[in-house]
Amino acid sequence: MELKRVVVTGLGAITPLGKNMPETWNAMLNGVSGAGPITRFDTSKFKSTFACEVKNYDPIDYFEKKDARKYDMFAQFALIAAKEAISDAGIEPEKENLDRIGVIWGAGIGGIDTFEQEVINFANGDGTPRFNPFFIPKMIADLSAGHISLMYGFRGPNYCTVSACASSTNAIADAFNLIRLGKTDVFVCGGSEAAITSAGVGGFNALHAISTRNDDPMTASRPFSKSRDGFVMGEGGACLILEELDHALARGAKIYAEVVGMGMSADAHHMTAPHPEGLGATAVMKNALDDAGMKPEDIDYINVHGTSTPLGDIAEVKAIKNVFGDHAYKLNISSTKSMTGHLLGAAGAVEALASVLAVVNDIVPPTINFTEGDEDPELDYALNFTFNKAQKRVVNAALSNTFGFGGHNASIIVKKWQGLS
């Protein structure tokens, strides 16, 4: 069968860099760090006392008080990002076949804050099980997709993808596949996460996964630098509206870019560590290129997973050199996690958004906080890591990588929209 073409017609975000997509993108281009001391709980006994929080967030700015109580913060972020993207796309539900609009949303953890608070309340009580009736609906990861469909009446496919830090890239990939197979016309897809809680930070501290650079939080996320010591937790969400091309053209939608390929793979190596030779990362990028019918030389920019961990950064660089060969030295690489922190299940959506905007605007956001090169020869500094400053260049196609605990790998490729040929 002939596959349908899929385009991006709407974008939305709420991140540590901004309360919407334009603010987030502008901060990325200006190399702004979203890190700072944690404000949500007392960190005095924690190894890490900082994270990338959404700044000055108050749910009452977005929801009625009675409604805000029904949503965990990760679901609030989902609804905020989706609202912006749906508006940006100019989708008017009353004019659409709602059976042909779906929602696929990614979350690696879901309502951890709700779970934590309910368990604390029970443990501090007299043993009587007095749980909030919204406890389970607020906690389970799939409810973000459900809430979006309920708010707008979308009756198409509706579910949640859970693959750790690859979750929202998997959501976008699934939406892309279902549209090009002709199963539906429009998808609201992306991801959100709100895991900056005592259990979230404490758990990642126990894994020795996050930075403990408490004396200088704003420079703690430093991918590819010698002194990197783990990722910085982030929170928020991002949304992309994917649409079948003919449907978008028929309603006169603006088109940001075209989604042309996706890849998935597994490391099959370790619960939390990447394969040291980057085998899964190599496979997922090759799969995405094959799916798009593209050659390595067709890619201009890679938004890397680039978490600022000692092992992960090296494994991804090895994979890039394996896949792209000599062309690896001609493309731009950057890790926007150096600014946003690691949004866990929402990382892929935020980074897909950045990749789309890089293609639209012909500019690559930077990898900030680079100070000193690593002696490991695998971190080849002849590669263009776009350190510390955004770089203007023609970006006809961008690839976005996300790799999750459990060895889950997902990549997507977006391409400049140049009209019908």
pLDDT digits (tens, 9 = 90+) for 105-159: 999 999 999 999 999 999 999 999 999 999 999 999 999 999 999 999 999 999 9
Which regions of 282-407 does DSSP assign to beta strands (E)? 301-303, 332-334, 363-364, 391-392, 397-404
What pLDDT band is residue 377 in, cutting at 50, 70 and 90?
A: confident
Which amino acid is present at 358?
A
Query: Nearest 5°: CA angle at 27, between 21 and 33?
Result: 125
Task: Give the global pTM.
Answer: 0.97
Q: Which of 278, 300, 299, 232 is nearest to 379 (CA)?
A: 278
Name residue 264's beta-bridge partners.
Answer: 410
pLDDT surpassing 90 at residue 404: yes
pLDDT digits (tens, 9 = 90+) for 197-232: 999 999 999 999 999 999 999 999 999 999 999 999
Mean pLDDT of 35-45: 97
Q: Do domains 6-250 and 262-416 have the same CATH topology?
A: yes
Q: Which CATH fold topology does 6-250 show?
A: Peroxisomal Thiolase; Chain A, domain 1 (3.40.47)
pLDDT surpassing 80 at residue 1: no
As a whole-number percent, the residues of the chain with pLDDT over 90 amount to 96
Mean pLDDT of 81-97: 98
Q: Is 99 exposed, middle or buried (0-12, 13-18, 19+ CB in 10 A)?
A: exposed
Mean pLDDT of 403-420: 95
250 φ, ψ (degrees, to nearest 5): -65, -30
Mean pLDDT of 248-258: 98
Distance, in Å, from the CA atom of 270 to the CA atom of 216, rounded to the nearest integer, reads 31
Q: What is the mean pLDDT of the chain?
A: 97
Q: Is the dihedral of CA 129, 132, 136, 138 positive or negative?
A: negative
Enzyme catalytic residues: 165, 305, 342
Query: For residues 19, 309, 48 and 270, what is the CA-based torsion angle, rounded to 10 degrees?
Result: 110
Q: Is the dihedral of CA 30, 23, 347, 298 positive or negative?
A: negative
Alpha carbon distances (Å) from 72 to 110, 374, 420: 8, 40, 43
> What was the pLDDT predicted at 421?
67
Q: Where are the chain's structural domains?
A: 6-250, 262-416
Containing H/E element for 353? helix 347-361
For 273, other C-beta atoms within 10 Å of its C-beta total 14
For 255, other C-beta atoms within 10 Å of its C-beta total 17
Distance, in Å, from the CA atom of 139 to the CA atom of 357, rounded to the nearest integer, reads 32
Q: Which of 193, 11, 171 is nearest to 91 (CA)?
A: 11
For the CA atoms of the chain, what is the radius of gyration?
A: 20
> What was the pLDDT predicted at 240?
99
For 417, other C-beta atoms within 10 Å of its C-beta total 19
Mean pLDDT of 378-402: 97
DSSP state of 54: P
Q: Report the top-level CATH class of 262-416.
A: alpha beta
Which residues are CB-contacts of 356 (< 8 A; sequence separation ≥ 6)?
Answer: 8, 11, 240, 256, 257, 398, 414
pLDDT digits (tens, 9 = 90+) for 269-304: 999 998 989 999 999 999 999 999 999 999 999 999
Distance, in Å, from the CA atom of 103 to the CA atom of 269, rounded to the nearest integer, reads 32
pLDDT digits (tens, 9 = 90+) for 296-331: 999 999 999 999 999 999 999 999 999 999 999 999
Q: Is the dihedral of CA 307, 332, 413, 269 positive or negative?
A: negative
Query: For residues 56, 349, 207 and 310, what is the CA-based torsion angle, rounded to 10 degrees?
Result: -110
